Structure 1
Amino acid sequence: MKKGEKRKQELLKIAYDMFLTKGYENTSVDEIIEKAQIAKGTYYYHFKSKEQMLKEVIDMMIASESEAAKQVIATDIPVPQKIVGIIASMKPAEAEQPIKNTLFQPENVLMHHKVREKLIDVLTPLLSEVIQEGVDEGVFECDNISERVKMLLIISDSTFNEGKFSEKDISVFIDMTEKLLGAQSGTMSFINDLIDKTDMEAVE
């Protein structure tokens, strides 16, 4: 790794730690510069703004989660468990919640949208590989796997990411997923346990 890139990664790690401990809004560029013991010009050489730095911190988080997901794929466990493991790997750790919360602020709606797009782009090939494994084993029966996975991820994100869903929505999504992948009824019932229901609205 070149010296400049190493310095940039060090700055991202410092920002990541400060965003977690103080919160994104409560962390100033000057504080990051002071912590890193660099000149202001060095900071702005690597990052045009604090917003760009946040985006790259999130990219760093996603890259790390992606590596963890790949390790799950390499394990010798049943296909449904691999799917659970991949999705669990791509969820932010509890300590990273302050960064996730920042994305839900109204002023960060565009960045939130870009992060969700990136997550779908990263998850699609990972899950497609496991779904293909399921097809080979007879767990699923479908073609155009990546397109089906991407469609499911988009629907899942739109339905469950804002908390405006009901138990019936979950049931229909599971049924739709099984039909889309050509799986027997009950194969994907584990999805129910993957959905964060903390903020679920009682929509009937």
Structure 2
Amino acid sequence: MKRTVKAPEVRRAEILDVAGTLFENKGFSSTSVDEIVRTAGVAKGTFYYYFKSKEDVLDALVQEVSSKMAEQSQAIADDPERGAIEKICAIVGAQKGVGEDERNIVDEMHRPENRELHDRLNIETVRVFGAILATVIEQGNKEGVFQVDDPLSTIQFILAGSQLLFGYGVFNWTPEEETARKVAMLTLIERAFAAPPGSFAALTSEKLI
């Protein structure tokens, strides 16, 4: 029987897809390399040709999800027709509208048993989205709607804080408590940006946060 030879990018994508499904169903810690290999139908040597470890697969999955979300955000940030406030609202809204596959992985990352995935995504969020949003804040400075001396550091602190407050339910907020804290967070953002009160009201009225 002739052996099927697949392109490297196809084989790598298949392994990632299988690993992502296993991580979602069983959790990262409960999934072994042997199980990924067996489910994907590849030799262990093939796995190690593409990935150094299970953690390397995890990083690749996070990069994949983060890259897709960042691509959407960067397109919004580059839109010359939008103002800074509109861009920030649109970028936040775009993250709520990610595809089903991405949403499944993101939701799974928020489960306590998948903290490894969650923490890696948090790092990517602060690093990648911080840089994108910083350029929008700089635009807002030029437009006169913001007054932020250090856009990158400011937005990275905000992103890191929001990830801790709302990630994997560590505080066990009730829906009402979570809503109250999101409203408070928007108020803090407006003050940190020196933006007019109510600048980001659309984020709550349109249920984007």
TM-score range with shorter-chain normalisation? Answer: 0.7 to 0.9
CA gap of 1:64–1:12, structure 2 versus 1, over 3 A, is farther
The one-letter amino acid paired with 1:31 is: T
Q: CA offsets per residue over residues 73-130 of structure 1, 9 Å max, x none? A: 1212222221123234445433333323432344432332122111111111100100
Tell me the TM-score normalised to structure 2 length.
0.75
The one-letter amino acid paired with 2:66 is: I
Gaps of 5+ in 2: 1-6, 27-34
Contact 1:70 1:126 in 2 (8 A): yes
> 2-side partners of 1:179 and 1:106: how far apart?
32
Relative to structure 2, which stretch is displaced further, 73-82 or 103-112?
103-112
**Which residue in the other structure is 1:123 paired with?**
129
**Which residue in the other structure is 2:192 paired with?**
180
> 2-side partners of 1:99 and 1:43: how far apart?
21
Q: CA deviation at 1:143?
A: 0.9
Pair 1:86-2:91 in alignment: yes
Q: CA deviation at 1:186?
A: 0.7
> 1-side partners of 2:14 and 2:135: how far apart?
34
Higher relative contact order (CA 8 A, sep 6+): 2
Residue from 144, 158, 183 that aligns with 1:152: 158
Q: CA offsets per residue over residues 47-82 of structure 1, 9 Å max, x none? A: 234443133122112112212211111212222221
> 1-side partners of 2:165 and 2:112: how far apart?
19
**Which residue in the other structure is 1:10 paired with?**
10
Give me the identity figure in percent.
Answer: 24
The one-letter amino acid paired with 1:95 is: D
Residue from 111, 115, 119 that aligns with 1:109: 115
CA gap of 1:103–1:11, structure 2 versus 1, over 3 A, is farther
Gaps of 5+ in 1: 1-5, 196-204
Corresponding residue pairs, total: 185
CA gap of 1:85–1:111, structure 2 versus 1, over 3 A, is same
Residue from 61, 69, 77 that aligns with 1:57: 61
